[in-house]
Structure 1
Amino acid sequence: MSYRRNLSKGSLNRMELFVVQLDASIEKFDLVSAPMLVDTNVLEYLYNLEMSDYSLIKTRLLIQEKLSLASVSGNRRNDVSVYFPQHDESISSSPTYEYDLEEFERRFSLGWGYSEDLEIGSGFTRTYVTTGYKPAGSDDLDVAERINLYKWSFENLLDTYKSNHSDNPFFYKKGHAVIASRS
């Protein structure tokens, strides 16, 4: 009986460490991504006061480069997008993403939410705004930022964990499909 208890305790300790590492990775991703709302290039692009076309393009490319760096900060590929609802446009770490107001409003969530129909698969989304509260509509926003954490990224993480342990971890939330390793 003691052997079985020690195995269970060891497995539980490994899982707790795994969850702590996952939380730290997501927190790091938040810390790298969230400041983009007050980034000088984002604000410059938002208010583009008398900027030449060249300066606008250059600033847009700088923002896209920063978003691309932020999107790989958590050891997984994720997408980060900055939205400018007043201008009907966005800049994203994903080169294929195009601004869609309906999609932006449908997925608007100040906390983490799960979505089945993200650009390249299912996953978690979160929107950051400078106001700290959910505005009545996109007309009330100058700038917002969306982070997409993809399901396949979590599957990769679980695959890596399983390759080093005999456990078979998974993520589960009532009402949604289980996210598990691929094996």
Structure 2
Amino acid sequence: MPSAAEEVPHGEREGPVPGSCGGFHGSWGDFEVHVRFSGGGDRHRAVFWHDRAASAVRLWVDGVPVGAGCDLDSYGHWLDGRFLVVRAEGPDDHPRQSYGPGLPVTGIVPVLIHDVAHGSTRTLIPGPHEIWADPQVALAGETLRVYATREAGAADVPDRILPARPAPE
């Protein structure tokens, strides 16, 4: 089996072995990979594969594809070791949508929330009345709270409150 140095001959790699860090990244030419591990005893792994030439990001959580068809950001974060939260691109038809330099994705930002405990994924798209410029998601008891900005989160003024457990199908 090749060593890590042989597997990444012309790239960069940061971070020690899985299980002892929060994540690592590597880059090779037009490709970049970001791995984020959840905290706690039952660790989960989110792998973001960014094809810079195609401007596309693919995501796997514990080896299962997540968010197919979504234009995802190349980073995400874990809530309580259970929920992976990732920003997404769009929606183009939102009345306050904007594009431009310095924006990580677009001016109005949806979020994808993947629940590893139930294997479910929800993509939350702001409605015409919701201005999610810097959306924050917080876990409060048995609810997920979505805030439009960091300031709204600090003031505890959520745009949406939804059950942490997904609705049965």
TM-score scaled by length of structure 1: 0.29
Greater share of helix residues, 1 or 2?
A: 1
| Higher Rg | 1
TM-score scaled by length of structure 2: 0.31
Greater share of strand residues, 1 or 2?
A: 2
